[in-house]
C-alpha cells in the first residue's frame, strides 16, 4: 500500500524548482498550494477598475443625467495570474475584449526574472559612500553605489551576478532584499566606507540614524541664481555651501548682473567660473553634503582692499537647514550676529522650495525568450511589436519604460503598482506581473496563441478577483 501522504503529493511546474507539495501546504515560494490534490494559485487575481468621474457641466439647454463621463472599464493585471515559466505553453490568461469598438488582446502573466534588479534614488546631499562602493544587506553584497545625480544619491542593487553568480547565501539575501524593496518594505543597507541607509519606496531615507527631510533646492550656484534678487540690498555677501558647486554671490554672474561690488571674501576650492567653486571641502554629513561643521572654515582669505568693518555675510546650505549671519569686525574677522528677519525669511524660502526627501525604487528586468513564448510561437515578433509601439507593456497595470536596443528590458516605478505585486522563486529569482496589450489584428499578425483567447467576462466571472481603482 502506498503511503497516503505520498499519494497526496502534487508537483508544481510553475518554476524549475518543481516543488512536491502536500495537501493543505504551499510550495517554497508561498504562491502555489495543494488543495484537495489540485494545484492552485494562492493569491487572487488583481483587476484594475477605471472609474469615471462625475463632472458638473455648464447649462447648455439640456439636463444632465448625472452619468459618468467615461464608462467603467477593467484591466486584468498579472498580479495573482500565475505563470507558465518556462513558457512551453500559452500564458495563463490571454484575454479578448472590445475597447471603444476595437477588438483587443491582453496577455497576462507573472514573469520569473533571474535577470532583474532595482535602481534606488535617495534624495539627500549627505555622503553615503564613494562611487562604486559595495552595498551590503545582512553582511552580503547586494549591489553598489552608482553615479550621484542632482540632489540625489543612486544605488544599483541586484542583477544576475548577485542573484546566481555568487554563493547561495548571497543569492538568497539579494532576492530577499529586492523582494522587500519592490513590495514597498524597508531594508537596511550598509555602504562600504560610507553610511548605513534605511530605504523604503515612497518614504524619507534614514541615514546613519537621521531621517532626511528635504532635498536641496539646487546646487550652490543655482541657489545664488534663484535668490540673488531677493538678497540684493539686504546683505553684502552670500556664500552657499555645497558639496558640488559652492556659490559666492558677488563674484557670481547673478551678483554682477545686479552690479554688486566684490566683497573680497574668498573661499577655498577649485574655481570653475566666477562665483562657482568645486571641492571646497570633503564629502560628509555637514553643511551642503560636505564635512564642514563650522562654515567659516571654507574662507581662505579676506581682501582688506575690498572688505570693510561692518560688512555683512550670510552663509547658508542648499537646503536652508544650516545658516549663519556674520558681521566683519575692525580686524575684518567675521563674527556671529543675530540674523535679521528679512534675511531669515529668504532662508526659510530656500527650505520652502526644497522637495520632500524620498526614496524611489525602480524595478528593472529583461523579458526573455521563454516569457515571450507564452505570447507567440515566434518570440522575436513580440519584441519587434513592442519596439514599434504596437504592443503596450505594463507591470501590474503600471506604465513601463522600455529601453531602446535589443530585447524587452523594462523599468517600472513600484509605487505605481498594486500592493504586494512581487513574489519569488527559490532559484533565486523575482516574480513580477507583466501584461502585453495590443489589437487582435496585431496579435494574430505576430503569431499569437489565438486558440487560447478567452473573453474578459469569463475571467471576471470564474476567478477570485481583487478589485482596485486605477491610480491617476
Residue-wise pLDDT for 52-82, tens only, equals 443 343 344 444 444 443 344 788 888 888 8
Query: Residue written as cell 541664481?
Result: 225
Mean pLDDT, rounded, for 163-189:
97
Determine the 3-state secondary structure of 415 from DSSP. helix
| Structure confidence at residue 87 (pLDDT) | 64
CB 167 within 8 A of CB 173: no
| Structure confidence at residue 49 (pLDDT) | 72
Give Cα 277 to chain centroid, integer Å.
Answer: 31
Q: State which H helix or E strand residue 241 sits in.
A: strand 237-241
| Structure confidence at residue 292 (pLDDT) | 92
CB 178 within 8 A of CB 157: yes
Mean pLDDT, rounded, for 362-383:
91
d(CA 397, CA 92): 16
Determine the 3-state secondary structure of 235 from DSSP. coil
Give Cα 9 to chain centroid, integer Å.
Answer: 41
Query: How much of the chain, in percent, has pLDDT values that exceed 70?
Result: 90
pLDDT tens digits along 82-106 = 877 666 789 989 999 998 889 999 9
Among 148, 197, 61, 176, which residue's Cα sits nearest to residue 426?
176
Three cell numbers written together for 5: 501522504
Is residue 360 pLDDT above 80, yes or no?
yes
Three cell numbers written together for 204: 524619507
pLDDT tens digits along 400-452 = 999 999 999 999 999 999 999 999 988 899 999 999 999 999 999 999 999 99
Determine the 3-state secondary structure of 215 from DSSP. coil
CB 426 within 8 A of CB 17: yes
Paired with 283 in beta bridges are 290
In sequence order, which residues have a C-beta less than 8 Å from that of residue 203 and are 6 or more positions away?
186, 358, 359
Q: What is the dihedral of CA 26, 188, 361, 410, to 10 degrees?
A: -60
Cis check for the bond before 104: say yes or no (omega within 30 of 0): no
pTM as predicted: 0.85
Three cell numbers written together for 333: 574677522
| Across 148-162, 421-435, 450-464, least confident range | 450-464
CB 432 within 8 A of CB 422: yes
CA angle 189, 192, 194 (to 5 degrees): 80
Q: What is the mean pLDDT of the chain?
A: 89
Three cell numbers written together for 108: 497576462
d(CA 181, CA 155): 12
Among 205, 165, 177, which residue's Cα sits nearest to residue 360?
205
Is residue 462 pLDDT above 80, yes or no?
no
25 vs 6, 9, 20, 32, CA distance in Å?
A: 13, 10, 10, 9
Residue 420 region, left (φ>0) first, then alpha (ψ -120 to 50), else beta?
left
pLDDT tens digits along 285-326 = 899 889 999 999 999 999 999 999 999 999 999 999 999 999
d(CA 400, CA 398): 6
* Cβ neighbours around 22 below 10 Å, total: 13
Q: What is the dihedral of CA 40, 44, 48, 51, to 10 degrees?
A: 130
Per DSSP, the residues of 106-160 read EEEEEEEESSEEEEEEEE--S----TT-EEEETTEEEEEE---BTTEEEEEEE-H
d(CA 22, CA 6): 8
Amino acid at each position: 500500500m502506498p503511503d497516503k501522504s505520498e499519494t497526496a503529493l502534487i508537483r508544481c511546474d510553475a518554476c524549475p524548482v518543481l516543488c512536491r507539495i502536500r495537501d493543505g501546504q504551499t510550495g517554497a515560494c508561498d504562491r502555489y498550494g495543494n488543495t484537495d490534490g489540485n494545484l492552485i494559485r494562492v493569491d487572487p487575481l488583481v483587476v484594475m477598475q477605471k472609474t469615471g468621474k462625475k463632472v458638473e457641466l455648464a447649462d447648455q439647454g439640456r439636463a444632465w443625467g448625472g452619468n459618468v463621463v467615461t464608462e467603467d472599464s477593467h484591466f486584468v493585471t498579472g498580479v495573482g495570474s500565475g505563470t507558465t515559466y518556462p513558457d512551453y505553453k500559452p500564458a495563463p490568461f490571454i484575454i479578448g475584449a472590445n475597447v471603444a469598438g476595437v477588438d483587443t488582446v491582453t496577455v497576462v502573466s507573472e514573469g520569473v526574472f533571474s535577470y532583474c534588479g532595482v535602481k534606488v534614488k535617495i534624495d539627500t546631499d549627505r555622503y553615503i559612500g564613494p562611487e562604486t562602493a559595495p552595498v551590503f544587506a545582512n553582511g552580503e553584497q547586494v549591489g553598489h553605489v552608482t553615479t550621484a545625480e542632482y540632489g540625489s544619491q543612486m544605488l544599483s542593487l541586484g542583477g544576475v551576478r548577485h542573484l546566481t553568480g555568487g554563493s547561495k547565501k548571497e543569492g538568497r539575501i539579494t532576492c530577499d532584499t529586492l523582494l522587500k524593496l519592490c513590495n514597498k518594505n524597508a531594508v537596511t543597507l550598509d555602504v562600504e566606507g560610507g553610511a548605513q541607509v534605511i530605504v523604503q519606496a515612497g518614504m524619507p531615507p534614514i541615514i546613519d540614524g537621521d531621517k532626511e527631510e528635504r532635498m536641496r533646492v539646487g546646487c550652490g550656484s543655482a541657489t545664488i541664481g534663484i535668490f540673488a534678487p531677493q538678497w540684493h540690498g539686504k546683505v553684502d555677501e552670500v556664500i552657499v555651501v555645497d558639496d558640488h558647486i559652492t556659490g559666492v554671490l558677488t563674484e557670481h554672474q547673478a551678483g554682477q548682473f545686479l552690479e554688486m561690488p566684490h566683497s573680497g571674501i574668498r573661499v577655498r576650492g577649485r574655481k570653475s567660473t566666477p562665483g562657482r567653486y568645486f571641492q571646497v571641502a570633503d564629502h560628509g554629513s555637514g553643511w551642503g553634503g560636505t564635512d564642514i561643521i563650522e562654515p567659516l572654515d571654507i574662507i581662505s582669505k579676506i581682501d582688506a582692499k575690498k572688505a570693510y568693518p561692518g560688512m555683512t555675510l550670510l552663509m547658508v546650505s542648499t537646503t536652508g537647514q544650516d545658516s549663519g549671519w556674520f558681521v566683519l569686525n575692525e580686524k575684518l574677522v567675521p563674527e556671529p550676529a543675530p540674523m535679521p528677519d528679512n534675511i531669515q525669511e529668504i532662508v526659510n524660502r530656500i527650505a520652502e522650495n526644497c522637495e520632500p526627501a524620498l526614496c524611489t525604487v525602480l524595478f528593472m528586468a529583461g523579458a526573455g525568450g521563454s516569457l515571450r513564448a507564452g505570447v507567440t510561437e515566434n518570440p522575436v515578433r513580440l519584441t519587434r511589436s513592442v519596439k514599434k509601439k504596437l504592443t503596450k507593456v505594463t507591470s501590474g497595470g503600471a506604465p513601463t519604460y522600455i529601453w531602446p536596443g535589443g530585447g524587452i528590458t523594462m523599468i517600472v516605478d513600484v509605487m505605481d503598482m498594486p500592493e504586494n505585486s512581487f513574489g519569488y522563486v527559490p532559484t533565486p529569482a523575482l516574480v513580477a506581473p507583466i501584461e502585453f496589450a495590443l489589437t487582435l489584428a496585431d496579435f494574430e499578425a505576430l503569431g499569437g496563441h489565438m486558440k487560447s483567447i478567452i473573453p474578459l467576462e469569463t475571467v471576471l466571472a470564474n476567478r477570485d478577483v481583487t478589485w482596485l481603482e486605477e491610480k491617476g
